[in-house]
Structure 1
Amino acid sequence: MTRPEIEVQAQRTRVRTPTRSKVPLKRLFRVASVACGIQFGWALQLSLLTPYVQELGIPHAWASLVWLCGPLSGLLVQPLVGHMSDRCTSRFGRRRPFIIVGAASIVVAVLIIGHAADIGRIVGDTAESRPRAIVAFVLGFWLLDVANNMTQGPCRALLADLTGMDQRRTRIANAYFSLFMAVGNVLGFATGSYSGWFTIFPFTVTSSCSVNCANLKSAFFIAIAFIAFTTYVSISAALELPLSSSNSAHSADERPNESHRDQEAFLWEMFGPFRYLTGPIRIILIVTALTWIGWFPFLLFDTDWMGREIYRGKPDEENNYHIGVRMGSFGLMLNSVVLGLTSVVMEKLCKKWGAGLVWGISNILMSMCFVTMLIISRLAANMEFTRDNYPPDGIIIAALLVFTVLGAPLAVTYSVPYAMIATRIESLGLGQGLSMGVLNLAIVIPQVVVSVGSGPLDQLFGGGNSPSFAVAAVAAFASGLVAILALPQSYAQKPRAII
């Protein structure tokens, strides 16, 4: 197929978005608030579930495999949901029905996860063996990942719909989204770092659910309230224009053999873009993939690293490990504060220095932080612990400082790639829902690799988290160099900028 034919096909498969007047920034701010509730639950998942799954009895070497559903579902769920939402003719709009169903699925999933130990006990688990609790946990965990992927794509696409091709408003909307993600992270990690929730919700403590389990269960009850509230605020502010059947389907003279064309268009939109992507978009996807090879080991093992390698604890012990996990959650809360502050100034940074340079510098900073974590691990392993068998204050402060600094590059990761893709992929004729799915593939494929390889790799080198962090440091540094040298410095499409 020649390039002119591809362009014709792109025009035929383009989703005709209903026209609307410019949406006020105040309303965009409210629409973006849904990220707060979603990220609140995601923060609890990141900070507490890797330690909890080991407490249930899954070895550290296999803990990363539990996270495999997230990237696997992202390979299919986000592109498929994006495609369906691009063409949804519901009277409630194109994106809002998917956001509502996704949020409801998140609620169901966290209830299953929080009650996994109780479910296992009811169906026959003992105190020494909890295979049924593990099954319930994994099912809930995987449902949570599917629900997150189902929700986040339409949320991003909704903001892109409301801003259109206005590059400045697109950047601002993504900065709002990143800011609310930071707020959700702060609240979620603060919740995860508090050890007394079981005293506020005493009914969560059962014969099969100890204090640590009850704290997790209580935290998820709070997450449900946040998700419900922010989802309502967001969808009530969106005021989406329904996509009529005349907008979602072309006339017969444009598209003969309608059913065959529909199927062909879907297949082209799912797989065609990877053959005909422009040079700048390819570079964006490459940098995104390398960036997430860097981020995913940290997101998987951050609190586990604090409990295992800084506090020298074990998941099945009640003392040092869980204190370290809570300290890690506190560090992630500080991380999120920096994330939010960076999101506020993101527009000015990218306007002054260029998006590619900002992204590249942030990734090199991320690499330096991972190298610092390796150094801290080595120092902690060779130091004498102080009274009460806790690590020296200097080691704890250094670890918390690294967590805090990582908030700045995380803010860039949460905003710049999405804004660059949203303003560039329009020329391919894709709807914004499917375009977010295309970017998501560059995120989830590296996550699959990390999920499969990090546990065995860590086990091969002694069972710690350092090998995965070493790989993350190399990938982050490489992504930073590629971003600085090869990415255009603005969000906007520059024709023939890279061939």
Structure 2
Amino acid sequence: MEPCNRREMTRPEIQVRHSNRPRVRPPTRAPPPARSKVPLKWLFRVASVAGGIQFGWALQLSLLTPYVQELGIPHAWASWVWLCGPLSGLLVQPLVGHMSDHCKSRFGRRRPFIVAGSISIVIAVLIIGHAADIGRLLGDSMVSRPRAIVVFVLGFWLLDVANNVIQGPCRALLADLTGKDQRRTRIANAYYSLFMAVGNVLGYATGSYSGWYLTRPIWIILIVTALTWIGWFPFLLFDTDWMGREIYRGKPNEGKNYHMGVRMGSFGLMLNSVVLGLTSVVMEKLCKKWGAGLVWGISNILMSLCFITMLIISHLAANIEYTRDDLPPEGIVIAALVVFTVLGAPLAVTYSVPYAMIATRIESLGLGQGLSMGILNIAIVIPQVLVSVGSGPLDQLFGGGNSPSFAVAAVAVFASGLIAILALPRLYVQKHSVLV
């Protein structure tokens, strides 16, 4: 065998050979994506929480020291009640801040604490505002009110703790949203300061104005109004859709039945408006004869019966066969149109009686009519928001039809009718007024 010509390479040769090879660079990681800036309107919305917080602080600073003395706490001891503020700030804010830093909630780190603090503030304000009443229920006399004092102190301390629960996470949320951008951090805190000023203005204005109290009769009007609009709003939202979807069994963008139903529903609303106008003409005579509260109550119960009739019509329409060109029987359509028409009478009452009642009652208290209309509008808008948010998921939960919303409407309106019949005539039928 021939000797092998291969020889061992020396170390310098190995180094030279390796140095001639192309170097393979390790794969580089892509830089992290740049964090998009949060819109300023988001920072504005988050900072608006400060308005509510400061509103509560302003009311405390201006009114609660006089209030505790009216309950019977001596002036020398009044400052001890305020001890909760610094103590809760010393203990609660660092603790809540640390907990929110490590919170793993799917709603975010800060939001659960802000929501919990807001609910606690509502509870605390109700306790403080009704401390004397709660104490009386627990056994206080008109002279000695120790139980009311205890209830008040508990509510006051809860309010301070709740305010501190919100403040820390709210500030931290602003810092989360702005990051290291110093300019946006300054803007966010300027927004926060602005809403603190707004809250102070509103809080101190409330403390300086003596006409904010609305009496029990006004509360009854507002409650009846709110329940009435829980009934009306589903109908106003879904009336023509109900006719097209559940009476004509149509679907949007599928065939002609849905659009035929919508047109028939519009015809029913036209008849509804005719009855509304005719009822408005005789409204004064009805209220003069029976009393506005009784007229309102009867009209709401009539409205509840109409909604129940709509549920029955929906059930019948879903369980009978349509034979003539897949269109509903004439009896079903006529029944639906009759319901639409009859609802014009309760709508006329809703458009007139509550406004007359609230305006007259506010006038007797010496308050402005603009304020009375604003107060009544709150009782209308809040139910509309609730119905707008809740009716869609509720209907979807029970199959996607409109019947669940109409069922809730029927119950709410029936309850409002009973309240109006039982409470409003006794409070509002007067000798020298037609609608009150």
Q: Tell me the TM-score normalised to structure 2 length.
A: 0.51
Q: Deviations over 1:402-453 (max 9, x none)?
A: 0001111110000000001111112444321221010000011111111110
Q: 1:473 to 1:318 in 2, by over 3 A?
A: same
Structure 2 residue aligned with 1:426, among 363, 370, 394? Answer: 363
1:333 to 258, 267, 270: 270
Q: Provide Cα deviations, 1:351-399, integer angstroms capped at 9, x if missing partner.
A: 0000000000000000000000000000000111132211000000000
1:273 is displaced (CA, Å) by: 6.2
Shift of 1:492: 6.8
Specify the code of the residue in structure 2 equivalent to 1:461.
Answer: F
8 Å Cα contact 1:362/1:412 also seen in 2: yes
Say which of 362, 366, 370 aligns to 2:303: 366
Residue 268 of structure 1 corresponds to which residue in structure 2?
206
Alignment match of 1:348 (pick from 266, 281, 285): 285
Return the index of the structure with the highest Cα Rg: 2
Counterpart residue number, 1:281: 218
Q: Structure 1's 439 and 264: CA in aligned 2 closer, same or farther, altered over 3 A?
A: same
For 1:351, the aligned partner's letter is: K
Residue 126 of structure 2 is matched in structure 1 by none
Q: Deviations over 1:34-81 (max 9, x none)?
A: xxxxxxxxxxxxxxxxxxxxxxxxxxxxxxxxxxxxxxxxxxxxxxxx
CA distance in 1, matches of 2:209, 2:230: 23
Q: Distance in 2 between matches of 1:298 and 1:273?
A: 36
For 2:25, the equivalent position in structure 1 comes to none
Amino acid corresponding to residue 217 of structure 2 in structure 1 = P
CA contact (8 A) 2:297 2:421 kept: yes
Query: SS of the counterpart of 2:206?
Result: helix
Give the Cα–Cα distance (whole angstroms) in 2 for the partners of residues 271 and 325 of structure 1. 50
1:488 to 425, 429, 434: 425
Distance 1:285 1:478 in 2: 13
Q: Aligned to 1:384, what secondary structure does the other structure show?
A: coil
Any unmatched runs of 5+ in structure 2? 1-197, 432-436
Aligned length: 234
Is 1:468 the counterpart of 2:405 in the alignment?
Answer: yes
Given that residues 367 and 473 in structure 1 are in contact (C-alpha distance below 8 angstroms), is that contact kept between their aligned partners in structure 2?
A: yes
- The equivalences for 1:8-23 within 5 A come to none
Which residue of 1 is the match for residue 145 of structure 2?
none
* 2:331 counterpart letter in structure 1: G
**Match in the other structure for 1:435:** 372
Contact 1:308 1:324 in 2 (8 A): yes
User: Does the CA contact (< 8 Å) of 1:287 and 1:479 recur in 2?
Assistant: yes
Contact 2:277 2:348 in 1 (8 A): yes
User: What's the CA shift string for 1:452-490, capped at 9, x where partnerless?
Assistant: 100000000000000000000000100000000011367
Corresponding residue for residue 307 of structure 1 = 244
Q: Is the 8 A contact 1:372 1:402 kept in 2?
A: yes
- Select the residue among 259, 269, 280 that pairs with 1:322: 259
Distance 1:415 1:422 in 2: 11
> SS where residue 401 of structure 2 aligns?
coil
Cα distance, 1:317 vs structure 2:
2.2
Taking a change above 3 Å as real, the CA distance of residues 266 and 398 of structure 1, as seen in their structure-2 partners, is: farther
Aligned match of 1:200: none
Q: What is the aligned-residue identity percentage?
A: 84
Greater relative contact order: 1 or 2 (C-alpha under 8 angstroms, separation 6 or more)?
A: 1
Change (3 A) 1:315 1:267: farther
Matched position secondary structure for 1:387? coil
Q: String of CA shifts for 1:237-287, please: whole Å, max 9, x gaps.
A: xxxxxxxxxxxxxxxxxxxxxxx9x9569943999866x211111100010
Among 329, 337, 341, the residue aligned to 1:392: 329
1: CA distance, partners of 2:271 / 2:378? 29
Query: Counterpart of 1:378?
Result: 315
- 1:20-419 residue pairs with structure 2 within 5 A? 267-268=205-206, 276-419=213-356
| Structure 1 residues without counterparts, runs of 5 or longer | 1-259, 495-499
Q: Look up the SS of the partner of 2:325 in the other structure.
A: helix
Find the residue that maps to 2:352 and give its secondary structure: helix
The one-letter code matched in structure 1 to 2:206 is: W
1:350 and 1:490 in contact (8 A); partners too: no
Shift of 1:315: 1.1
| Cα contact 1:269–1:430 (8 A) shared by 2 | no
Residues 168-193 of structure 1, C-alpha deviations (whole Å, 9 max, x = no match)? xxxxxxxxxxxxxxxxxxxxxxxxxx
Task: Give the alignment's Cα RMSD to 1 decimal.
Answer: 2.7
The one-letter code of the counterpart of 1:404 is T
Instruction: Describe the SS at the equivalent of 1:389.
Output: coil
Alpha-carbon distance in 2 for matches of 1:454, 1:489: 35
Separation in 2 of the partners of 1:403 and 1:269?
A: 48
- Distance across 2 between alignment mates of 1:414 and 1:491: 18
Give the distance between the partners of 2:273 and 2:308, measured in 1 at CA: 21
Q: Deviations over 1:127-150 (max 9, x none)?
A: xxxxxxxxxxxxxxxxxxxxxxxx
Change (3 A) 1:401 1:444: same
- Distance in 1 (CA, whole Å) between partners of 2:398 and 2:209 is 39
The answer to whether the 8 A contact 2:235-2:406 is kept is yes
Q: Distance in 2 between matches of 1:421 and 1:354?
A: 15
Secondary structure of 1:488's match? Answer: helix
Counterpart amino acid of residue 268 in structure 1: T
CA distance in 1, matches of 2:246, 2:396: 14
Whether the 8 Å contact between 1:423 and 1:491 is mirrored in structure 2 is: no
Residue type of the partner of 1:295? Answer: W
Listed one character per residue, the Cα deviations across residues 322-357 of structure 1 (whole Å, up to 9, x for unaligned) are 110010000011111111110000000000000000
Task: Sort the Cα spacing of 1:469 and 1:264 in 2 relative to 1 into closer, same or farther, 3 A.
Answer: closer
